[in-house]
Structure 1
Amino acid sequence: MNGLPGPLADRSRTAREDAAEAIASEGTGEDVWSAWAGWRSWPEPVLPDGPVVVLAAHPDDEVLGFGGTAARLASSGREVHVVTVTDGEASHPGSRLMPPPVLARRRREELSEALDLLGVNRRRRHRLGLPDTEVGKHETALAQWVGELLRTSGATLCVTPWSGDLHADHEAVGRAGHAAAGAGAIALWQYPVWMWHWAVPEGPRVPWHRCRRLPLAPAELALKKSALRRFRTQIAPLADHPDVILPPEELAHHQRSFETVIVETGPR
């Protein structure tokens, strides 16, 4: 998860303005989501057998959206590949203490610590190093690369950020994953990240009928919470950059006893 998103590809000017306003707003509190009965009726999706490929636009997206489930899969011996598309070097623009090359290295280190905790095999971690905030410019090449990984790994499930998340990089990665999974007839699930901030229960932008719950055992949730604490550059301010990317009210959306996916293709 990175800060405010860049311009959204393939959207009207009005939609881009709406998106920027929604992201910049105070956001929907976790107390509102907790009081909503809607998600209690979401079924649990069937996890297909075989390897799973998880895509993330920035280091931490994969843990925010799918970390607990990834831990469960890894602990059961399932082959889990994690693809981190950018290094998240643009999350603190203007910082002299942590300019982009330094921040990129730090965020890679944080992700490595987090994935170690979740039990993801280091040989199945893939760093692409595409430019942060500019993933859309590389979408076609990204889809081809992901398609090749899906093929060579024998993956039966591809998990990506949601292509409606109102963040340009998240959406581009979601579209690229959709194209790659579709070409290989592979099941595709997408996890929301920013959605919990800008959406409201029953809001019209979200395909609620395709949302599914992935329950987390207490040990899995504990691992996820511990992994999220490794992203120190995102959960605490820098001395010269007081804005916190993941303040407690945002983290609360991603520390529930379940994770949410939007089923695009595959068993529903």
Structure 2
Amino acid sequence: MDRDRLIVEGDGTPERDWLPWLHAARLPSVTAEVLVPDGARAVVVAPHPDDEVLSVGGLLAQLAESDREVCVIAVTDGTASHPGSSAWTPADLGRVRALESQRALALLGLLQPPLRLALPDGRLSEMRPVLEDKLLSLLRPGDVVFTTWRLDGHPDHEAAGHACAHATRQAGATLVEVPVWAWHWAVPGDPRMPWAGACRLQLCANALPRKIRATLAFQSQLQPDDSTGAEPILRASTVARARRPFEVFFT
């Protein structure tokens, strides 16, 4: 992973910089029905619990309203989010984050719990062949697979993106990648981001409040850790980006 895409301390590029640029950029508009055509299944591959909401929570809320078939795959259980913590052990995190994810999806209108692969959090780069095989056993021809961008800046996100790219090619599915951490390290107009293949989904009136409520379901990631002094995992800027009335996809 290139050093210029590392996720550093702080809130990164603020929304006050991103929002005017994204408005002026006039990315091509897309609808949920175009992204996931009638008869297709939407498959969301989330490296960690919360990535499904941060990346495509608004889209999922709209797909739930239109009764599209949706499958959410949780690659890891997010057990490495609080290293060294006595308040949040890996066992605690595995249990609590699974419940948070299920609650968040219910707030989006999806009652089917995620399919959990239980791969090791923080080690997806070395587990890529295993993840590719697991995805190939789960994908169908015609699926539309949403996952984190292959150059997102987080090793697990990038590994998930590469694994999905391989699996979708083999399965005859379509890949759509979504930036999550890239909004942190990139800047408006950043040439490292594939704007030529970007499109924008405007969220309907019901989808945005559902996504905001779903983001707040991840309380384990939104609270500081008194046992280590660590700040919340989901930074204020991350939560602010989840409040955008649109989502951006790379197709």
Amino acid at match of 1:159: F
Give the alignment's TM-score, normalised by structure 2.
Answer: 0.92
Q: How far apart are 1:218 and its partner, in Å?
A: 1.9
Whether 1:257 and 2:245 are equivalent positions in the alignment is yes
2:9 to 24, 44, 62: 24
Q: Can you list the C-alpha shifts for 1:154-206, whole angstroms capped at 9, x where unaligned?
A: 54311111111011000000011111111122211011100111100111210
Structure 1: distance between partners of 2:111 and 2:10: 38
Structure 1: distance between partners of 2:41 and 2:49: 21
Q: How far apart are 1:18 and its partner, in Å?
A: 2.6
Aligned length: 245
Structure 2 alignment gaps of length 5 or more: none
Asked whether the 8 Å contact 1:53–1:155 carries over to 2, the reply is no
Structure 1: distance between partners of 2:70 and 2:219: 24
Amino acid at match of 1:208: W
Q: Look up the match of 1:103.
A: 93
Q: Look up the match of 2:118.
A: 129
Asked whether the 8 Å contact 1:68–1:216 carries over to 2, the reply is yes
Structure 1 alignment gaps of length 5 or more: 1-7, 9-14, 264-268
Structure 2: distance between partners of 1:43 and 1:220: 16
2:150 to 151, 156, 163: 163
Q: Can you list the C-alpha shifts for 1:101-132, whole angstroms capped at 9, x where unaligned?
A: 11121111111110111122326x20011111
Q: How far apart are 1:254 and its partner, in Å?
A: 1.9
Distance 1:204 1:23, change over 3 A: farther
Amino acid at match of 2:131: L
Range with greater deviation from structure 2 (34-43 or 94-103):
34-43
Show structure 1 runs of 4+ deviating over 4 A.
none
Q: Look up the match of 1:55.
A: 45
2:173 to 186, 192, 196: 186
Asked whether the 8 Å contact 2:55–2:179 carries over to 1, the reply is yes
Give the alignment's TM-score, normalised by structure 1.
Answer: 0.86
Structure 2: distance between partners of 1:155 and 1:148: 14
Structure 2: distance between partners of 1:71 and 1:39: 25
Whether 1:40 and 2:26 are equivalent positions in the alignment is yes
